[in-house]
Chains A and B, each alone.
Chain A
Amino acid sequence: MRLARIFVLGYAPKNGGVLLHCLKGAALGGFLLGTALTSSSSGSLAQDIEYGEYLAGECTTCHRKDGSYEGIPSITGWPAESFIAVMNEYRSEDRENPTMRTISRRLTVEDLEALAAYFETLSE
């Protein structure tokens, strides 16, 4: 499967948290450019919503599942492509938040796709 890696224009990577929040607006506003990133996600767990829901337990300790913002941005209802792109940027250290870098680095491509697929199904 081929995934689109999405680059966001005009961000300042100092604040990973607020960035995510901004990115959501940017993504929905269509300010995204895509380039190809080949994924090896052929495993059975890729885009597995139930697996994604399990993995999301790690996210919902901080990111409220209802999508409200009280200091940590919402990831509820995010487009899967945006979710994957942002997590890849944490993994490559293009974004600075050390919590998110640590979380992102231990996710496999399958994990990431399952998580992204799950969060996309949620609505605020």
Chain B
Amino acid sequence: MPYMLKKISRRQALKIGGAAGAALAAPMIIPAHAASPRLVVVGGGAGGATVARHVAADSKGAVDVTLIEANKTYTTCFFSNWYLGGFRTMESITHGYGGLEKAGVTVMNQWATGIDPDGKTVTTADGSKVGYDRLVVAPGIDFKFDTIEGYDAGVAETIPHAYKAGPQTTILRNQLEAMEDGGTVVVAPPPNPFRCPPGPYERISLIAHYLKHNKPKSKIIVLDAKNKFSKQGLFQEAWATYYDGMIEWLPADMLGGGVNKVDAGAMSVSTADETFQGDVINVIPAQMSGKIARDTGLANDSGWCPVDPESFESQQIPNIHLVGDSIIPGDMPKSGFSANSQAKVCANAVRHLLTDSRLFPARFSNTCWSLVGTNDAVKVGASYNVGDGKIKKIEGFISKTGEDRDLRSQTADEAIGWYSGITADMFG
């Protein structure tokens, strides 16, 4: 991976490997109340990595920061559709944690298996217990597999969701490459709320782009669990412009609801009213907060985690903060940009609580870019502050249908620039 080679020196790589090896050999017991106040972050995505890196860098050693993340690299969900469409390599959307270590973060490549809020410890899969003074949990999403009969993590190896980026995304891309020209791709977007509201529709656009240039007789059938979707007019304009006749979008009302059954053997999916065959099937199930948040009692009955909108401290359990897709984010959508924005407010609040550093007012922003064709992107975004006890939208914007090609091309360049910016902000 070029990025890894560029960003992590051989000495740093050996250091990472050595730490992992030691962890395997003997479980660590790391005491709470070390010399510096301890911040532990669980989950190294757009929310967690940003909190960890910013607290470590900004506190200049005054806070002892540990990131517990199961994987040694992180593949961003954002831009994974660009990989599916052939616009990006998997390597270009995969990042290491060397930049966090450089900022002073201790990175533990372990599964966090449990949290003890009373003892203020996190337990990892190797039996280590890591003490904290403040904990940030950023586990992202899990899927409600039980809402679709016949679908689980095992079946997802055949019928991928590809909504946690990495191997799942590669499975979907490989299936598209293996499909005969004239085949049918079925895509089933999830019900609200879910990660990255425009994501399934950018995916449909970029799968269509791939098919148009490689398998032009093929079709995409969209079995939507909803009757409307983010940037709908913009996507449907692009589908008519670039992929006319290739995409058939069927809303929930025409289907008797979204997909509720999968038959991997027959390569079919069913709604209440109808069964559809596919040569490639991409089912994106309903979602909820990540397992460790639910297991710890950080989620409420909705399956998502309520937080204070200024400090991001859990409304369920003190001393634990959450950011990113797992929270109930007020008016913000669940997105990598949102998670990164929330994380910087959370980092300021946590650092203040641990070291009495200056506390500044919470403010947020989000923009979601979507590529719809070659050099053609659209965007939607907004600014937010705290009001009425939640994250509240101040002002928003959205691309317009009929925009000229120069502007769309500039928006695509902007998307590329944003990817570079946010990943630098997350990973250093």
Contacts and interface: CB of A to CB of B under 8 A. Distances in A.
B381 A99 contact: yes
A2 interface: no
B21 interface: no
18 contacts: A14-B406, A17-B414, A54-B344, A57-B54, A61-B425, A62-B421, A64-B420, A65-B425, A70-B416, A102-B365, A102-B381, A102-B383, A102-B397, A106-B363, A106-B383, A106-B385, A106-B394, A106-B395
Contacts of A15: 406, 410
Contacts of A14: 406-407, 410
B360 A54 contact: yes
A73 to B, nearest CB: 8
B119 interface: no
Nearest to A114: B360
B382 A102 contact: yes
A60 B416 CA distance: 14
A124 interface: no
Contact of A99 (B397, B413, B416, B424): B397
Contact of A58 (B363, B394, B407, B414): B363
A99 B377 CA distance: 14
A69 B421 CA distance: 9
Contacts of B344: 54, 57-58
A54 B418 contact: no
A61 B422 contact: yes
Most A Cβ at <10 Å: residue of B367, B413, B414: B414
Q: 10 tightest A-B contacts by CB?
A: A71-B417, A72-B417, A57-B344, A98-B397, A70-B420, A71-B416, A62-B421, A71-B413, A54-B360, A62-B418
B238 to A, nearest CB: 18
B262 to A, nearest CB: 37
Contacts of B345: 57
Nearest to B425: A60
Given A17-B414, A99-B381, A58 B341 contact: yes
Interface of A: 14-15, 17-18, 50-51, 53-55, 57-58, 60-66, 68-72, 98-99, 101-103, 105-106
Contacts of A17: 410, 413-414, 417
Contacts of A68: 420
A92 to B, nearest CB: 15
B415 interface: yes
Contacts of B365: 58, 61, 102-103
B424 A71 contact: no
B337 interface: yes
B340 interface: yes
A68 B420 CA distance: 10
B396 interface: yes
A107 B356 CA distance: 26
Given A61-B418, A102-B397, 6 more contacts: A14-B406, A54-B344, A61-B425, A70-B421, A71-B418, A102-B381
A71 B397 contact: no
A69 B58 CA distance: 24
Given A17-B413, A57-B54, A99-B381, A50 B422 contact: no
A70 B418 CA distance: 8
A98 B413 CA distance: 15
A18 B409 CA distance: 12
Contacts of B414: 17, 62, 71-72, 99
A102 B396 contact: yes
A106 to B, nearest CB: 5
A101 B363 CA distance: 16
Most A Cβ at <10 Å: residue of B58, B360, B422: B360
Nearest to B399: A98
Contacts of B418: 61-62, 71-72
Contacts of A50: 358
B395 A102 contact: yes
Contacts of B382: 102
A17 B365 CA distance: 18
A50 B58 CA distance: 10
B397 to A, nearest CB: 4
A50 to B, nearest CB: 6
Interface string B380-396: 01110100000000111
Contacts of A51: 358, 360
A60 B385 contact: no
B332 to A, nearest CB: 13
